[in-house]
Homo-oligomer: A and B are copies of this chain.
Amino acid sequence: MQNLSKNQQIIFDLIDKSPEPLKAYSILFNVQKRGIKAPLQVYRALDKLVEIGKIHKIESRNAFIACQNSSCQISKATAFSICESCEKVTEINNSNLSKYLTGFKDKNGMKYNKYNLEFFGLCKKCVSKKS
């Protein structure tokens, strides 16, 4: 695995330490004291980190989370669970699911090389709060 550049490392560390997905401008705010002052600096680092699979973008939330699958270099098969109440996001690492989806072929004959799946619901904590 290649080394990260200065900005990439700063931003990855922040995301990796965060218990929740971070948004780009929240990241910007947090790294300004470390010399990263412009949105583009953040977005460039994010793009690269996504490209090399160190982080994933949660598309429905426009937010970024560190890859929780230690063997994941390049993200071609991502799945997440999202609690619609507390917004907790967890990466799903289930080989049955990934096998099923990686092998999935639709009748349109298209060959897929990547997928992203987002499940929504209530996490255990939030379910018990509501009852």
Contacts and interface: CB of A to CB of B under 8 A. Distances in A.
Interface of A: 59-60, 81, 83, 90, 92, 94, 97, 100-101, 104, 106-124, 127
A121 B114 contact: yes
B115 A92 contact: no
A100 B117 CA distance: 13
A124 B110 CA distance: 6
A104 B58 CA distance: 20
22 contacts: A59-B59, A59-B118, A60-B116, A81-B106, A81-B112, A90-B108, A90-B110, A92-B106, A94-B107, A101-B117, A108-B123, A108-B124, A109-B124, A110-B123, A111-B127, A112-B119, A112-B120, A113-B120, A113-B122, A115-B117, A115-B119, A116-B120
Contacts of A81: 106, 108, 110, 112
Contacts of A101: 117
Contacts of A120: 112-116
A119 B114 contact: yes
